[in-house]
Amino acid sequence: MKVIIGVDPHKATHQAVAVNDRETEIDRISVRATRTQTERLLSWSAPFTERVWAVEGAGGLGYLLAQQLVDAGETVVDVPATLAARTRVLASGRSNKTDPNDAWSVAVTALRSDALRQVAPASHTEVLRLLSKRNTDIGNQRCRLVSRLHSLLAELAAGGIAKEINASDVDRFLAGVTPTTPTEQTRFDLAVELLDDIRRLDTQLKASHRRIRVAVTASATTVTDLFGVGPIIAAGLIGYTGDIARFQNRDRYAAYNGTAPVEFSSGGRTVHRLSQRGNRQLNHALHMAAICQLRQPHSAGRAYFDRKVAEGKTNKEALRALKRQISNAVYRQLVVDARNSD
Residues forming a β-bridge with 9: 14
Assess contact for 230 and 191: CB atoms under 8 A: no
Instruction: Determine the Cα–Cα distance for residues 285 and 281; give it in Å rounded to an integer.
Output: 6
Instruction: Determine the Cα–Cα distance for residues 31 and 15; give it in Å rounded to an integer.
Output: 7
How many Cα neighbours within 13 Å face the side chain of 192? 9
Instruction: Determine the Cα–Cα distance for residues 150 and 45; give it in Å rounded to an integer.
Output: 60
pLDDT tens for the chain, 342 residues long, are 799 999 999 999 999 999 999 999 999 999 999 999 999 999 999 999 999 999 998 878 899 999 999 999 999 999 988 888 888 766 555 556 788 889 999 999 999 988 888 888 878 898 999 999 999 999 999 999 999 999 999 998 887 887 777 888 898 889 988 999 999 999 999 999 999 999 999 999 999 999 999 999 999 999 999 999 999 999 999 999 988 988 989 999 999 999 997 665 555 555 555 566 689 999 999 999 999 999 999 999 999 999 999 999 999 999 999 999 999 999 999 999 999 886
Q: Which H, E and C letters describe 35-94, residue by residue?
A: CCHHHHHHHHHCCCCEEEEEEECCCCCCHHHHHHHHHCCCCEEEECHHHHHHHHHHHCCC
| Residue extents of the structural domains in the chain | 2-118, 124-219, 231-341
Look up the CATH number of domain 2-118.
3.30.420.40
Strand 50-56 to strand 117-118: parallel, antiparallel, or no bridges (unpaired)? unpaired
Can you spell out the DSSP letters for 230-281?
A: -HHHHHHHHHHH--GGG-SSHHHHHHHHT-S-EEEEETTEEEEE----S-HH
The conformation of residue 116, written as its DSSP 8-state character, comes to P
- pTM across the whole model: 0.75
